[in-house]
C-alpha cells in the first residue's frame, strides 16, 4: 500500500497539470484521453484522501453506482448470467 504522503504528492502533481491544461489548453487537449483519465484519477485520489465523501463519490457526479447496477441488471436479463456469480 502506498503511504498517504505519496498519494498526496501524486494528487498535487496531477491537480497542477490538469488545472493548467484545463485553464490554458485548447479543446483538443481537453478531449485527450490522457487528460480525461488524469482528471478521473484526481477525483479517485481525492476520495482516497477523504476530500470527497463516499456518498458523493458513488453518486452520479462520479461513479454513479446506481446506473452501473442498472446496466448490470440489464445484462443479467439479456444474457441470463448473474452478477452474484461473477468473480
Taking residue 75's Cβ as centre, other Cβ atoms within 10 Å add up to 13
Sign of CA dihedral 50, 34, 1, 72: positive
How many angstroms separate the Cα of 67 from the Cα of each of 5, 13, 15, 21, 76? 33, 31, 27, 30, 14
| CA-wise closest residue to 52 among 64, 40, 41, 44 | 44
pTM of the model: 0.81
pLDDT tens for 49-63 read 999 999 999 999 899
Per-residue pLDDT, averaged over 9-35, amounts to 96
Amino acid at each position: 500500500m502506498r503511504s498517504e504522503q505519496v498519494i498526496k504528492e501524486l494528487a498535487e502533481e496531477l491537480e497542477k497539470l490538469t488545472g493548467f491544461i484545463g485553464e490554458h489548453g485548447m479543446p483538443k487537449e481537453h478531449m485527450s484521453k490522457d487528460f480525461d483519465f488524469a482528471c478521473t484519477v484526481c477525483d479517485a485520489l481525492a476520495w482516497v484522501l477523504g476530500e470527497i465523501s463516499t456518498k458523493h463519490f458513488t453518486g452520479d457526479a462520479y461513479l454513479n453506482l446506481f446506473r452501473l447496477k442498472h446496466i448490470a441488471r440489464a445484462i443479467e436479463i439479456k444474457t441470463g448470467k448473474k452478477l452474484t456469480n461473477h468473480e
